[in-house]
Amino acid sequence: MVSSAELEKKMVLEQQTQLQKENDQNQVELHAKLEKLEVLEKECLKLTATQRIAEDKIKHLEEKLFEEEHQHKLLQAKAAQVTFGLLGYHSPEEHSSKRPKSKKHSDLLLKEQSNFRYSQPHFTER
């Protein structure tokens, strides 16, 4: 009977030791996961800050582009006014359209270009 009580006591102690080892292992794993979580949270904050900076830069560039487009339109309008004034108060559309060239002129241009393309230099041999 004494031997059975000692055996039972020994088994209980082994179980407690095993449970303590498992508990210690769980604590180590929990600590590792908490550290990893902390690293991920810091990285998330850093990425959020980087995203905010990028969004601010994009907004600034969009505003700058809008302003440049506006200035370009103003410059075009001013150029049109100057052109309109220099051309004797005719509309700019009248002067922007080109006169159609005659077919004879176009054919002559094509012929000259084709002759130029295929002509080869003449060298004399010595």
Please give the model's pTM, rounded to 2 decimal places: 0.48
Task: Tell whether the model's pLDDT for residue 98 goes beyond 60.
Answer: no
Is 118 a residue whose pLDDT tops 90?
no
Domain ranges of the chain: 9-90
Please name which of 8, 19, 87, 43 lies closest in space to residue 79, comparing C-alpha atoms. 87
Grouping H, G, I as helix, E, B as strand and the rest as coil, residue 100 is coil
Q: What is the mean pLDDT of residues 54-60?
A: 98
In the predicted structure, residue 9 carries a pLDDT above the cut 70? yes
Read off the amino acid at residue 108: L
- Give the dihedral sign, CA 89/94/98/102: negative
Read off the pLDDT of each residue in 27-42 and give the average, rounded to a whole number. 98
**Predicted local confidence at residue 88, as pLDDT:** 65
Cα atoms in the 13 Å half-sphere on the side-chain side of 89: 0
pLDDT at 99: 53
**25-53 exposure pattern, b = at least 16 Cβ within 10 A, e = fewer:** eeeeeeeeeeeeeeeeeeeeeeeeeeeee
Q: Which two tokens stand for residue 38?
A: 């902390």
